[in-house]
Structure 1
Amino acid sequence: MTKALNTQSASAAGSEISFETRNLIVFDADCIICSGFARFMARHDRRAQYKFVNAHSPIGRDLYLRFGLDADRMETNIVIYNEQAFTRMASFTTAMKSLGWPWKAFAVLDLLPRQFADWLYDRIAQNRYRFGRRSCPLPTDNLRGRLLD
């Protein structure tokens, strides 16, 4: 699922986010895989083009609802890049491509049929808490400094 943003901002709990100036990654901070992805992105995003939002926060929940996703199940990261929202496998490949080489090589996953790629992503997402829910290390200083909430 890829959705273009309809408006230039979203608000939640009195906060306003401008999508004209930010690329965002909305991630489940209780998931060791999702938070690991966020830490990876913060470490390798040398241009600091992304800000990060905990999916459990009011802004994160608002964004899930805004894109027609279940804000309680949080079965996908949301990557907002160049004013478009990407979910499931497209969220991963979009983020990797934005980092440049060598991470851009993950674009090869875009060659998989979308239905199969999303099925694979869903299998990982459905089992992600088996790997250690709430056992995520604290965010790095780099990630903490780029969290919106």
Structure 2
Amino acid sequence: MKQKIVLFDGVCNFCNNRVQFLLKHDKKKELRFASLQSDFAQNWIAENGIQLEDSMYFIDGDKLYSHSTAVLRIIRELGSGWKLFYILSLIPKSIRDNLYRRFAKNRYRWFGKSEVCMIPSPEVRNRFYL
């Protein structure tokens, strides 16, 4: 089975809340997680020669998705009624990504920032790459 890994900003309160949401709603428990600040993410970035922005990313096997496409792909993985949100992919990528970047630019101001990355609970630690 190919890896499905969500890369997220580990000090962003909004991002950490979304990870908690995903953990709760990923009934198949296929999603794995790594903060952008983790050794795993830093090594993956270096090995693949990719320059990442401060954003959420989704690694699906050998494909990397970013910005709004990453969010839509992640939501699609939740299955059931959540898949309906994938219809938003019909909106042109340039418009979706513009809205995504505006939100991302203001997320610390709106939701705050932690000094340290979230520490996963023992129940879900096996779903995180540290």
TM-score scaled by length of structure 2:
0.84
Determine if the alignment matches structure 1 residue 116 to structure 2 residue 95: yes
| 3-state DSSP of counterpart to 2:59 | strand
Question: Highest relative contact order (Cα 8 Å, sep 6+), 1 or 2?
Answer: 2
- Select the residue among 60, 68, 86 that pairs with 2:50: 68
Match of 1:30 in 2: 11
Determine if the alignment matches structure 1 residue 47 to structure 2 residue 28: yes
Identity of paired residues, percent? 26
* Distance (whole Å) between structure 1 residues aligned to residue 26 and residue 49 of structure 2: 25
* Distance (whole Å) between structure 2 residues aligned to residue 113 and residue 67 of structure 1: 27
Cα shift readout 1:65-113 (whole Å, capped 9, x = no counterpart):
536234xxx4211111243111000100001111112111111220111
Structure 1 residues without counterparts, runs of 5 or longer: 1-19
| 3-state DSSP of counterpart to 1:110 | helix
CA deviation after TM superposition for structure 1 residue 138, in Å: 5.4
**Quick check: which one's helix share is greater?**
2
Q: Sort the Cα spacing of 1:46 and 1:67 in 2 relative to 1 into closer, same or farther, 3 A.
A: farther
Match of 2:83 in 1: 104
* Distance (whole Å) between structure 1 residues aligned to residue 102 and residue 77 of structure 2: 25
CA RMSD of the aligned region, Å? 2.2
TM-score scaled by length of structure 1:
0.74
Q: Sort the Cα spacing of 1:143 and 1:106 in 2 relative to 1 into closer, same or farther, 3 A.
A: farther
